[in-house]
Amino acid sequence: MDGLLLVNKPVGITSFDVIRRLRRSTGVRKIGHAGTLDPAASGLMMMLFGAGCKQAMSLTKLDKRYVAEVRLGSNSSTGDSEGELTPVSDRIPSVAEVEAALKQLTGEITQVPPVYSAIKINGREAYKRVRAGEQVEIPARRVMVYENRLVKYEYPRMEINAKVSSGTYIRTLAEDLGKLLGTGAYLAGLVRTEVGGYSLADAVELEAAGMALVAAQMLDI
C-alpha cells in the first residue's frame, strides 16, 4: 500500500498517535506524515504510506490554510490554551483596529517561532529543552502570510482565516497580533483546512480509517 491519505486529525492526540492508530487499523507499518499538528489542533494531516514516505519533504513545503480562534486580553506561556495565562489588558479593540493589525501581519513578515515547538536545536526538540529547564533561543525567520482575514469578532474571541507559507506558526501570529493591539493574545483553537491543493473536505475521519476505507481513499503522489 503506497500513496497519500488525507486524514482529519481530532483534538487531543499527537501526530504520532495518528500514525499508531493507522498502523493498528490497517496493519501497514511504514507510515509517515507531511507535517505535524499540535495535540490541541485539529484538521488536515497528509499521511504517507509505503513508498509515499519519500515525498514527505516536498509535501511539507506546501502552503497551508488555517482557521484560528484567538483570544485577547492575556498571554500564554506556550502561545496557546495549554500554557499558563497571564492577564495583559482588558481594553477592547475596535474591529477597525483588529483589521489594521491583521493587515500589518500580512505579506512577508518576520517571526520568532515559539520555544514550545518541535524545532530542533542541536538535534533535540526545543520544547524538550525548555521542559528540562534550559534557556532556549530560536532565531527569527521570514515567512509569507498570503491572507489573514477576520471572520468573526466578539471580544475577547476572534476567528481568523489565514493562508501561510510552510514554517509559519499561527501561535506566533496570534501573539504578534496581541502585541500590536496592546492587549496580549494567544491561540485558543486551530483547524488546518488546506495543504497546497489538498482540502480537509476530502479527508477521512481517523476513527473510521480501517483497511478498506484507507485503500479506497488512497491518492497517488
Catalytic-labelled residue, pool 38, 90, 176, 220: 38
Q: Which of 62, 8, 10, 11 is nearest to 35 (CA)?
A: 62
Strand ranges in the chain using DSSP code E only, listed in sequence order? 3-9, 31-33, 41-49, 64-72, 74-76, 85-87, 107-111, 120-121, 124-125, 141-154, 157-164, 185-195, 198-199, 204-205
38 is catalytic: yes
- Contacts with 200 (C-beta within 8 Å, 6 or more apart), sequence order: 6, 8, 43, 44, 191, 192, 193, 194
Q: Please answer whether residues 44 and 33 qualify as being in contact, where contact means their C-beta atoms are separated by less than 8 angstroms.
A: no
Q: Which residue has the cell 517571526?
A: 111
Show which residues are catalytic: 38
